[in-house]
Amino acid sequence: MNSAIVRGLLVRGMLAGVLAGLLAFGLAYLIGESPVDAAIAFESAHSHEEGGEELVSRAMQSTAGLATAVLVYGTALGGITALAFCFALGRIGRFGARATAALVGLGGFVTVALVPFLKYPANPPAVGDPATLNQRTALFFLMIVLSVLLAVGAMLLGRALAPRWGSWNASIAAGAAFAAVVAIAMAFLPAAGGLPQGFPADVLWEFRLASLGVQALLWASLGLILGFLAERVLEPRAAAATGTGPAPQASAPAH
């Protein structure tokens, strides 16, 4: 794959990230802001500090602030996913552009979102000791790095076993090895800390469910949109035949 194609896929990956970010922002605003407001209300009711003037209003945080954060995150994630797509294409099986992008999106959701979430689930405001914020953040990113590295190792293991065991059995063995090593890593990593006394369990559940749902939508839409855009670059004839790309130009009539 030459550099011009990689550059084109990188741009399309970032565009896919912007579009996926817009969808994720819509879902986050619809289902995520209510538990955040409830958590902030709990924190305010149980705080002994005098409230100061807000530098950024809550309305601004839940609209423009949230949109900016999600779009920046989606754009960066789209670029990284496009590079992962370039690496995976042709190396994980005889899949086309759309199937490969969908698998990369699924793998990204599992390794970057789901596995770290199982050990260190997202917490709303008022949950967690502010003094341990840096430690909890470092542990969360450590879990992401471990998950991604273990997933790459599992993929290499599956490729090594495929000639002898077959693709299906090798994939099952690699997935089982990934799950086992992840479970061991989770057992040895420290816990994130407990909940403040009296914090509503339903608010915590709604926030965590909304966080995971936003991540699922972001990765799913990113994989699907990237696959659609990448197909137009890598398989223009197939895209034109299915009506998803520009029709090929007709040849000039012979004289």
Distance (Å, whole) CA 227 – CA 217? 15
**Mean pLDDT across 121-142:** 79
Q: Are the beta carbons of 132 and 193 closer than 8 angstroms? A: yes
pLDDT of residue 185: 93
Query: What digits encode the pLDDT tens for the residues 37-89?
Result: 888 787 777 665 544 455 667 677 777 888 899 999 999 999 999 999 998 88
Does the pLDDT value for residue 17 go beyond 80? yes
Q: Which residue has the higher pLDDT, 55 or 29?
A: 29
pLDDT of residue 44: 74
What contacts 62, CB < 8 A, 6 or more positions away?
29, 33, 36
Query: What digits encode the pLDDT tens for the residues 194-227?
Result: 666 777 888 888 999 999 999 999 999 999 999 9
**Mean pLDDT across 170-181:** 94
Q: Which residue has the higher pLDDT, 96 or 249?
A: 96
Does the pLDDT value for residue 110 go beyond 80? yes
Q: Are the beta carbons of 110 and 154 closer than 8 angstroms? A: no
| Whole-prediction pTM | 0.83
Alpha helices, H only, the chain: 3-27, 33-46, 58-60, 66-88, 97-108, 115-119, 133-165, 167-188, 201-234, 236-241
Q: Are the beta carbons of 158 and 170 closer than 8 angstroms? A: yes
Does the pLDDT value for residue 237 go beyond 90? no
Q: In the chain, what percentage of residues exceed pLDDT 70?
A: 82
**Mean pLDDT across 160-189:** 92
Does the pLDDT value for residue 228 go beyond 90? yes
pLDDT of residue 111: 94
| Band (128; pLDDT cuts 50, 70, 90) | low
All structural domains of the chain with their residue ranges: 1-44+60-127+197-242, 128-194
- Of 193, 36, 49, nearest to 128 by C-alpha is 193
